[in-house]
Structure 1
Amino acid sequence: MSISVTAPLESAPLAADLPRRLAEVAPRVVVVGDAVLDCWLSGPTRRLSREAPVPVVEVDVTRCAAGGAANTAVNLAALGARVSLVAVVGDDDDGATLRRLLDEAGVDTSALLVAPGRPTAAKRRIVADDAMVARYDTVPADGTVEGFAAVLADALDAGPDATVVCDYAVGGLDDAAVSTVAAHRDRLGVLVVDAHDLARWAPAGPDVVTPNAGEVAVLLGRALDGADRVAAAEAAGGELRTRAGAATVVVTLDRDGALLLPPDLPAHRTWARPAPESRACGAGDSFTAALTLALAAGTPGPTAVELAQAAADVVVGRTGTAVCSTADLSSRVSASGESLSSAAELARLVADHRTAGRRIVFTNGCFDVVHRGHVAYLNQAKRLGDVLVVALNTDEGVARLKGPGRPVNPLADRAAVIGALSCVDHVVSFAEDTPVALLEAVRPDVYAKGGDYTAAMLTESPVVTAYGGRVAILDYLPDRSTTAVVERIRARG
C-alpha cells in the first residue's frame, strides 16, 4: 500500500511546503489593537547644525509602512490569512496614509474607526547615512473612543478562526475593549494576546500570550534573574500562565530566540538569527502573525513557534518595518534545511566551533516521519551545548533497521526537515549501522540519545567515554513513534 507523506497540519513538520499549505487554508483572523504609522526619513548629512551639535540631515527619501497592530495585520495578509483590522485612526493625513497602505496589502479596513480630532499614532525615524539619529512620535491621548466597543463587537460576532490583540499602550484599547473581547470569548477562535500589560487581558482567557523580557518583568513584578534568561523564563512558566490567565506563554527573547511554555508538554526553545537592534523593527509583529496563522490552521505549538521564529529571522535581515510573505517564509525554511554536510566538511565546521569555544552535541537517528517526540528530543539535546549535529541513517541503513517500505521519506527530504529546525546546526549522514566512525572523527563533547535507551545499551558509549566525552540520556516521551504517525496517515488516506 502506498503512503502519502503529506501529513495533516496537526502533525506537519516544519518544511518548505508548510507556509504554502497554511496560506491555502486561509484562516479568518481579526486583529484588534493599536495601529501605528511607521515612517523613515532618510538622507545624507554633511555638516553639524549651528544651533546645536547635531547633524543636519538632508532628507531626500520618506518611506512609510503600517506599524503596530497594522503591521501584524499586513503580515498576516502576506502569509495568506483573510484579515480584518479593528483599530482607531485619526482623520488626518497620517490616518489616510495608513488606510491606503492597509488597503493595498489586502487587509479589510471596514472596522477601522476614524476619530475626528484625534491624531493617528505615528513613529518617525530620522536616518542619516544609514544610521538612525532621532525618532519622534505622535501619541494619541488615552481615553474612550466613542463607538469603538460596538465596532469591535460586530467584528468578533463574525466568529473568526483566530483573534489577535495588539495592546501597546498608545491609547487605542480601553477597559471596554477588554470587556468586549472577554464577552465574546467563545467566538474568537484561537486568542493570541501581544500586550505591554498582559494582566489586564487575563479576564479574556487567552490561548497564547507573547511577552518579551520587559513584559515578563511587568507581569511577574521582577526581572528575569540570572545570566540565563531562558532558564529563568522556563522556571517561571507556571507563574506566567497564571498571572496572564493564559493556557500557553511564548516568551520572546530577541537574540536568545523564543521559549514556548505549554502547561502539559516540555518547554520548546527556538534559536534566533543574530541581528542588530536597528534591524529588529517589526520582527515581533511578523513573529506574532506567523504564530497566529499556524495555530489557527491547527499546527502544533512547537511547529508554530519554529515558523514564527523563521518569519522573525526574515525581517531582521531587512531595513525598516518589514513584512514576511508566504514566499519569504518558504524560502527561509528551505534555506535552513538545504545543507547536508559531508563527514569532511563537518569535521572542518566542528573545528571552527571548537576554536570559538563552543560545546558540541551530537545525536543520530532515522528521523523518517518527524513528529512531536523528535522535535522535543532535538530541542532538549541542543540545550546541552552550543552546537547540535544530527547524523541521519542513509536510506539503505533505514531499510536495514526498519524493514521493507522504509524509509517513507528519502534522505534529502529527511535532512531538509531536520535542518529546518532552529535548534539544529549541522546535518550529516552515515551508511553504517552505528555512527561510531563519525563520533571518532567529530569527538563531540556530548553524545545524546533518547530515553528509550540506557548508556549501557549503546555500542557508541565506550567510544565516547574513551576520548573524554559524555553520554546523555534524554527524557522519554511515550506514545510518540514514526510507526504510529504512518498508521494515522494510512487511516486518513
Structure 2
Amino acid sequence: MSESPESIDLSTQRALSDWLPGRLAAEQPSILVIGDVMLDGWWSGSIERLCREAPAPVVDIQSRESVPGGAANTAMNLAALGAKVSVAGIVGSDDAGEDLRGQLAAAGIDVQHLHTHPDMVTTTKIRISSGGQVMLRLDDAARTVPAGALAALAASVRAAVERQDAVLVCDYGTGVVADPVRTALAGVLGPDAAGGNRPLVVVDAHDPRPWAAVRPDLVTPNAQETARLLDRKLPEGQERVEAVAAESAALLQETGARAVVVTLDRDGTVLLMPDGVRHRTWARPAAEKQASGAGDTFVAALTLARAAGLPLTASLDLAQSAADVVVHQPGTSVCSTAQLSRYLEAFADTALTGDELERQIEVHRAQGQRIVLTNGCFDVLHSGHTRYLNQAKQLGDILVVALNSDDSVRRLKGPGRPINNMADRAAVVAALSCVDYVTVFDTPTATPLIRRLRPEVYAKGGDYTPEMLAETPAVEEYGGRVAILDYVAERSTTAVVKRIRDGEGAVPTN
C-alpha cells in the first residue's frame, strides 16, 4: 500500500507527482516578496491602415487588460500555488498603483508593506499588439525613487521579514530596493543578524552582486545577467551550459550565494553549488507567442518548494514544470496549484509503444539530433537516479528511458518488487525535465530495443563496465557508443528499500 501524500516527508521526495503541488500548498509557507512591483498592460486591436504623419500602423484598440508584473507577478504566482504571501515595495498614488494594490489584495496577498508615495510613479509596461504580434511596448517609471518612500520601506523591513519562512528579493534595477532598503535587509537577513532562525533567502536580481553581503541561499541570474557577472559573452546550446558550469566558483564568489541557479530560457536551468553538485532542467518551450513572466513563475515555484522543505533538485524540476505551464499561456500569466497538478498528471500515460517511439526517433534524427537510450527498473526514485539521468541527457539531444515491465522487475529483483507499478514508475520518470520519452520493455535485456532504435549513445550506471553489458555488442554493431556514468554509493533502490523495510533512517550526508 502506498503512502498518502499527507504522510510523506517532503525532505526525502525526489520525484514529481500530480499530488505534489497540492501537498506543497497545504504546507502554506509564509513568503515575503520585496522589490520592484509593476503593472503590466496588454492592449490588442486590429490594423487596417497607416497613420498620415508617418509610415506607422494604426492599432484600433479592442481590448485592454492590466495585470500585476515584476515582483507583483511573482507574488501572484506564489499565492496561486498556495503560499501565504506578503508584498513589500513602493507604488505611486496614481491609477496604476491603486489598480495594482487592488489586484494583489483580491488575490489574498498582504499589502500592508506596499507603500504609496505621492511623488512616486508606479512602474507600468504596456504592450500593444495586433494579430498576436507585439508591435510596441510603452514603459513608464519614476526617474528616481523618492527618498521618503525609501526611508519608509527600509523602516518596515524588520516587521515585514518577521515570522516569514522565506524572503524573495526581486531587484530589477528601478532603485526600490537600493540603499537604505538593501542595508536594512542585510541587517535583518545577513550572517551577522541577531537570532538563529533566518528564513530562506532567494535573490532574483539583474545584478546580484550588491546582495552578496546578505549571503543568499539562492540567486537566479538569467543568461544575460550571468554574462555580465562573468564579463564575457556566452555561447549557445550545450556549450553555454558547459561555459556556465566551468565558471561555478566565480559565480558563487561574485554573488555570495550558497547556490546559483542560472536560467537559460529554452535551454532550461543549471544548478551550481560549492561542493560541485550540478543539476540540469530542460525546458519544454512553446512556439513563440505573447508570453511573459515565466521567470517570475520559476522563481516563485522554486521558493515555495524550498520553503516547504522539498530538496533543491526536486524543487528545480518542479519550478521548471511551472514555467513550462505559463509559457503556453498568453500575456503575463500565473501557474496555479491545479494547473501544475494537471501538467504533472499528463505524464501518467506517457510510456510510448515501440512503434510510436520509433516514429518520434525518426523525426528527431532527421533534424540531426543525437539519441541517448538508458534502461532500468527505476522503482523508487532517489538522488542517484536523478543525477544519473541528468548526466545521460547531456550525452546527446534526446533522452529515452526504457523501463523494465512489472514482470521483468519481479524476475530480476524478486517477488516483493516492484514497489511502484509500471504506470507510476513511467509517470514519475517522464515528469523529470531531462527525460524526453519513456517506453517499457519486457525482454531479458534491452538488446531488441537497441537494435530497433539504434541510439547514438547507450548509457548505463557506473556499477557496470561495457564488457559486463549484454547490450554492448548490439550497440557496437552499428557504431554506437556505450557510456558508463557515475555511480552514487549507497543510493541504489535496493539499498533504499532495505532501509525502509529494516526501519532505518536516511543515509547521512557528509
TM-score normalised by length of structure 2: 0.93
Structure 1 residue 225, shift from structure 2 partner: 4.6
Structure 1 residues 440, 277: CA separation in 2 closer, same or farther (over 3 Å shift)? closer
Write the distance in 2 (CA, Å) between the matches of 1:77 and 1:315: 15
Write the distance in 2 (CA, Å) between the matches of 1:364 and 1:16: 24
Which residue, 102, 105, 112 being the options, matches 1:103?
105
Structure 1 residues 94, 5: CA separation in 2 closer, same or farther (over 3 Å shift)? closer
Write the distance in 2 (CA, Å) between the matches of 1:418 and 1:362: 14
SS of structure 2 residue aligned to 1:30: strand
Correspondence 1:63-462 to 2 at 5 A:
63-143=65-145, 144=147, 145-156=150-161, 158-185=162-189, 187-225=197-235, 228-275=239-286, 278-462=289-473
Write the distance in 1 (CA, Å) between the matches of 2:4 and 2:499: 11
Asked if the contact 2:43–2:65 (Cα under 8 Å) also holds between the matched residues in 1, the reply is yes
Corresponding residue pairs, total: 491
SS of structure 2 residue aligned to 1:58: strand
Unpaired stretches in structure 2, ≥5 consecutive residues: 190-195, 506-510
Structure 1 residues 75, 220: CA separation in 2 closer, same or farther (over 3 Å shift)? same
Asked if the contact 2:132–2:290 (Cα under 8 Å) also holds between the matched residues in 1, the reply is no
Asked if the contact 1:39–1:62 (Cα under 8 Å) also holds between the matched residues in 2, the reply is yes
What is residue 48 of structure 2 aligned with on the other side? 46
Structure 1, 164-173 or 186-195: larger mean CA deviation? 186-195
SS of structure 1 residue aligned to 2:332: coil
Provide Cα deviations, 1:369-409, integer angstroms capped at 9, x if missing partner: 10111011011101101111111111111112112321110
Write the distance in 1 (CA, Å) between the matches of 2:496 and 2:10: 12
Write the distance in 2 (CA, Å) between the matches of 1:316 and 1:348: 27
**Which amino acid in the other structure matches residue 331 of structure 1?**
R
Provide Cα deviations, 1:208-265, integer angstroms capped at 9, x if missing partner: 0000011112222222256621111111111101100001111011111111112225
Asked if the contact 1:89–1:112 (Cα under 8 Å) also holds between the matched residues in 2, the reply is yes
Q: In percent, how many aligned pairs have the same letter? A: 52
What is residue 11 of structure 1 aligned with on the other side? 12
Provide Cα deviations, 1:343-372, integer angstroms capped at 9, x if missing partner: 222222212222221111100000001011
**Which amino acid in the other structure matches residue 149 of structure 1?**
A
Write the distance in 2 (CA, Å) between the matches of 1:489 and 1:32: 42
Write the distance in 2 (CA, Å) between the matches of 1:311 and 1:76: 11
Asked if the contact 2:105–2:111 (Cα under 8 Å) also holds between the matched residues in 1, the reply is yes
Structure 1 residues 348, 275: CA separation in 2 closer, same or farther (over 3 Å shift)? closer
Structure 1 residue 122, shift from structure 2 partner: 0.8
Unpaired stretches in structure 1, ≥5 consecutive residues: none
Aligned CA-pair RMSD: 1.7
Write the distance in 1 (CA, Å) between the matches of 2:41 and 2:158: 31
**Which amino acid in the other structure matches residue 37 of structure 2?**
A
Structure 1, 322-331 or 262-271: larger mean CA deviation? 262-271
SS of structure 2 residue aligned to 1:147: helix
Structure 1, 201-210 or 278-287: larger mean CA deviation? 278-287
Asked if the contact 1:91–1:116 (Cα under 8 Å) also holds between the matched residues in 2, the reply is yes
Write the distance in 2 (CA, Å) between the matches of 1:401 and 1:279: 50
Structure 1, 331-340 or 297-306: larger mean CA deviation? 331-340
Asked if the contact 1:163–1:188 (Cα under 8 Å) also holds between the matched residues in 2, the reply is no
Structure 1 residues 332, 261: CA separation in 2 closer, same or farther (over 3 Å shift)? same
